[in-house]
Structure formats: C-alpha cells, structure tokens
Amino acid sequence: MIKVAIAYPSSIRVALQSLSVHIIRKLLSEYPNVYADFVFIGNNGQSITKSLKDFDVVIFSVHYELDYPRILKMMEISGINPYSSQRGINDPLIVMGGPTLIANPEPMAPFADIILIGDAEVLIPKFMEHYMEYGKDIEEYVNLTGFYIPSLGKHIVSKAFAKDLSYSIKLIHDTAIELGLSNVKSVFSHSAILEVMRGCPRGCLFCMEGFIGRPVRYANINSIKNIVLRDANKDKKIINGVSLMGLSVTDHPGFKDLMDFLVNNLGLSVSVPSLRVDSLDEDTIKLIVRGGQKVLTIAPESSERLRRALGKGFSDDDIASIVISAMNAGIDHMKLYFMVGLPGETNDDVESIINLLLRLKRLGIKYSLSVNPWIPKPHTPLQWLPMASDDVINSRVKVLEDLRTYIEFSTYNILDAKVQALLSLGDRDVGDLVFEASLTGLDRGSWRRLLRKYENLLNKYVYSWKPLNSELPWSHIRIPGIEEQSLKVLLLRYLKEVNISISIN
C-alpha cells in the first residue's frame, strides 16, 4: 500500500470544513493500493493528529498564506527536516498545492519536493500514476504540465486545468453530499454544492482569484440539473438546499434558467455568493429571495472613480437602485465590502464612500460593513505597485468605522495584511522568514518581531514599485490566457485613469 497523508495546516474543526481535503481523499480512493488519511494540527498548535513520518507521500492543501509556517511546524513535529535539500529517501515526498501556491510558489519552494500548479482533479491522478512508476525520483515529474520541482531551479510551468467541468461539478457535488451525510459541518449553507463556473470574465484588476482561475469555464446547465435531480428525489431526501459556487455566478449565461429550475421547479432553497451589482436585476433578486436568501452581498470596493478604473463599471446610482429593488423583494440585510489603500486613492475617494454609505442608510437598508486593506497580489495588473502604509490604511478604516451607519463592522488586521502581502509577493529569500516563524507561537507579537528583523524584505517586495521590465518572482508560472504584457497594458490604463505617473523602467 502507498500511504498518503492529506495534510491541512490548521485545526480539525477548520480543516474538515475545507472541501479541498475531502476532494483529494475522494480522488485517492479510486486507487485500491492507496491508503489515505487526514493529518491536522492540534488545537494547541504544538501537536498533530498523526505523524507525517509514517506516510510515503504528504499532500498539503494550502489556501492561506499565513498558514505557511504551520506546514513547516507539522513537518518539524513529525521529525522531518522542513528543507527539501536536507531530506533523504526515507522521508515522505512533500507535495503542496492550492491557490496561493499556484499564484506564487517561491516562498515555499525551499520546503516542497513538488508544487502542483492547477486543478486538483487533473493533477492528483496524474501524480499518483507517476508515483506508482517513478516513486520519489522527482526529476521524472518535471516535464508534466502543472508540476513544479523547486529543487531543479525556476523553470516554466503552465497551469494544468480541467477543460470540461462535467466531471468536476459531479466530484464536488458528490463530495459535499457525502460530507452532509457524515454530519461534518461545512462552511457552505447547504448540503449540495454546485460549481457553476471557474475563473471570472470580468477581470477586476485587484482580483488574483479571477486571473489565476483562467481560462473561464462555464458548467453545462443541463449537467447540473441532472446531478441535482438524481439526489433531489423525494424518496431520497438527500438535498436540503443548494449552495452555488463561483466567482461571479450571475455571469453564467444560464444562471436564471438554473435558479428558476432549482427554486420554482424543485422548490429548493438556494444560497449564492457575493454578486456584482451590474449583473443584478429585479428578476434575479426575486429568484434569490424566493430561494430563501434574505442577505445580499455586494462589493462596491471604492469610489465611483476608482471602481471604474478597477474594472467595476457600476455607479453609486446603480447601487442605490439595486438596494431599493432588494428591499422591495424582501432582502432585509446587505453585506458591503470595501477596500482602502488602493493605488491612486485620495481623500475625495474616501469622502465618496462616506456619501454612498450615508445615502444607503437614508434609504433604510440595514447593512454590515467590511473595510479591508488592498493587498497587491501576483498575476494581477496591480502586482507592480506598492501597498499603502499603515498610517494611510488605519486612518481610512477609522474614518469609515466612525460613521456608525452599519449594524456590524469588520476589518482585516493590518499586521496580517502585511504578512500576507510579503508571503504573496516574495521570492525564495522569504523562506527564511517562513522558517523562523514556524519556530514561534505564530502570535502577532512574534510576527511583529519578525517583520522588524526582515524589514528589508518588506521594503523589497511589499512597499516597492517593481520595474516593468524585470522578472517577477512568479514570472515562470504561466496561467492560460494571461500574458504579462497584457497585464502591463491594463496597469498603464489604470495608472492613467487615477493620475499616477510611472517610469516604464
């Protein structure tokens, strides 16, 4: 038997809510000679549920940059040297994957034997088939699409992706249903999860997920209907509702058709993620309400001026109109998401946000307000620009918090944002910081001390203007449909719109 650990660098409660680990386990269950088991960190942060040393392969599912040190901690607790260069043939093969590593694998490159760039349902089977033939001879993996072998130096890797989502949507749906039957609490509202699309056609300039999710792929509506019909049978009573998954589900050409089928034909409750204002109309909102959703989430992001420059071409009047339609349809609560510290942002932009929030309050809608710092991300047109200073971000968050027009307020901690930015944008030299962090309790005091020690890396990657003609740490990672040259064109257009001048060199 080949023993495979599916490792998630967080507690059992958090890890089991991640759909990714269950999908990996389902993929591995197709192989009769593979034994797979979960390994998580204990609640104390200093223990793990099983020793990774007892496995042949360890697959880390990674979704959050601040979890990077916990990956090393899990190896250290198991008696495995975190650095791949210092491990031997008797150590497990360390494989990592997930969206943050697809975007930029370099901060974790010193520690991984293989980093998977792309969709799990394509890469996991390919990895297992190769492992059965070549084992830990990692040089044999280098020519496979989507396989990055850091020890061989930076080499061009193209993302591996599922061209047709038919298998993918069934895999996700079936995995979610099995979870529901096992009483594992999910982060999703309902037992059935339907992936409507991957990627996003909009191309908002700050959105890493939209760019690395390319190419944009839409699930076939008839395929989705057939999957739901199979399990919505009245005798089975497996489905208690449906959660739709995708970055901009209302952009799917068949969205209304699907909603009408789920809500009116099958009588199911349906939850939808954050929606674009310019993709909503009265009919869509009525369908959402009829599906049982009373909270509508939208992301105005910033002022009209910056919103337009970022690729969100809807006005404050459009937002007000949608809010009125939502209230009339039965929505009783809105969730609003904004960013501060965007390149080119001025006090006038913040004043514009204030005016919009006051206007919405006058309309009588209750809303939760989330105001978060803009964090530059790889593979986006804004990747060359620096993050705003603490003073700028804190002052603008405070101004909006002090309005008190909301029923609930949240913000992302500025220290966590800086760490996330560094682990998003850094090269292999950031690995030293990740290693040192793994030796601490990972509390904010430890991160503050480490950021002071590695202030040069912060200045190098987070607070710098990157020359447009230089290689970026992630330039060797190729995402289909994204060329650096096209990102530069979008960047220059943005800079012109927000009145920033930049040297091309």
Q: What is the pLDDT of residue 186?
A: 59
Point out which residues pair with 2 in neighbouring strands. 34
**What are the tokens at 128?**
């297992």
Q: How far is C-alpha 109 from the geometric centre of its chain's CA atoms?
A: 20
Q: What is the pLDDT of residue 255?
A: 95
* Residue 296, amino acid: L
What count of other Cβ atoms lies within 10 Å of the Cβ of residue 79?
10
Q: Tell me the fold of 2-158.
A: Rossmann fold (3.40.50)
Place of tokens 């700050």: 206
How far apart, in whole angstroms, are the C-alpha atoms of residue 348 and residue 182? 52
Q: Residue 245 in 3-state DSSP?
A: strand
Query: Are 204 and 311 in contact, with CB atoms under 8 Å apart?
Result: yes
How far apart, in whole angstroms, are the C-alpha atoms of residue 7 and residue 322? 43
Q: Residue 340 in 3-state DSSP?
A: strand
Sequence ranges of the domains in the chain: 2-158, 162-273, 295-505
Q: What is the pLDDT of residue 187?
A: 57
Q: 90: Cβ–Cβ under 8 A, 6 or more apart, which residues?
A: none
Q: Residue 197 in 3-state DSSP?
A: strand
Query: Are 389 and 379 in contact, with CB atoms under 8 Å apart?
Result: no
How far apart, in whole angstroms, are the C-alpha atoms of residue 71 and residue 38? 14
How far apart, in whole angstroms, are the C-alpha atoms of residue 61 and residue 68? 11
Give kind and range of the element (H or E) at residue 198.
Answer: strand 197-198
How far apart, in whole angstroms, are the C-alpha atoms of residue 111 and residue 435? 9
Point out which residues pair with 477 in neighbouring strands. 157
83-104 as b/e, with b when 16 or more CB fall inside 10 Å?
Answer: ebeebeeebbbbbbbbebbbbb
Query: Are 53 and 90 in contact, with CB atoms under 8 Å apart?
Result: no
Give the burial class of 241: count Cβ atoms within 10 A of its Cβ; 0-12 exposed, 13-18 middle, 19 or more buried. Answer: middle
How far apart, in whole angstroms, are the C-alpha atoms of residue 325 and residue 321? 6
How far apart, in whole angstroms, are the C-alpha atoms of residue 61 and residue 71? 10
Give kind and range of the element (H or E) at residue 437.
Answer: helix 431-438
Closest residue by Cα to residue 265 from 254, 273, 257 = 257
How far apart, in whole angstroms, are the C-alpha atoms of residue 115 and residue 119? 12
Query: Are 423 and 103 in contact, with CB atoms under 8 Å apart?
Result: no
**DSSP, res 428:** G
Query: Are 148 and 101 in contact, with CB atoms under 8 Å apart?
Result: no
Q: How far is CA 491 from CA 420, 444, 500, in A?
A: 22, 33, 11
Compute φ and ψ for 15, nearest 5 degrees.
Answer: -65, -40
Classify domain 295-505 at the CATH class level: alpha beta
Angle between helices 414-425 and 444-453 (to 10 degrees): 50
Q: Walk along the chain (505 residues) and give the pLDDT tens digit of each residue.
A: 999 999 999 988 888 888 899 999 999 999 999 999 999 998 888 889 999 999 999 999 999 999 999 999 999 999 999 999 999 999 999 999 999 999 999 999 999 999 999 999 999 999 999 999 999 999 999 999 999 999 999 999 999 999 999 999 999 998 888 877 766 665 565 678 999 999 999 999 999 999 999 999 999 999 999 999 888 765 556 787 899 999 999 999 999 999 999 999 999 999 999 888 988 999 999 999 999 999 999 999 999 999 999 999 899 999 999 999 999 999 999 999 999 999 999 999 999 999 999 999 999 999 999 999 999 999 999 999 999 999 999 999 999 999 999 999 999 999 999 999 999 999 999 999 999 999 999 999 999 999 999 999 999 999 999 999 999 999 999 999 899 999 999 999 999 999 998 765 5
Give the burial class of 109: count Cβ atoms within 10 A of its Cβ; 0-12 exposed, 13-18 middle, 19 or more buried. Answer: buried
Q: What is the pLDDT of residue 46?
A: 86
Q: How far is C-alpha 92 from the geometric centre of its chain's CA atoms?
A: 27
- Taken in order 421, 498, 311, 505, the sign of the CA dihedral is negative
Alpha helices in 330-389 (DSSP H): 347-363
What count of other Cβ atoms lies within 10 Å of the Cβ of residue 140?
15
Place of tokens 């987070």: 462
Give the burial class of 209: count Cβ atoms within 10 A of its Cβ; 0-12 exposed, 13-18 middle, 19 or more buried. Answer: middle
Is 162-273 in the same CATH topology as 2-158? no
**DSSP, res 106:** G
Classify domain 162-273 at the CATH class level: alpha beta
**DSSP, res 40:** E
The DSSP-derived string for 141-185 is GTTSTTEE-GGG-S--EEPB--S--HHHHHHHHHHHHHHHHTT--
Three-point CA angle 376, 216, 170, nearest 5°:
115
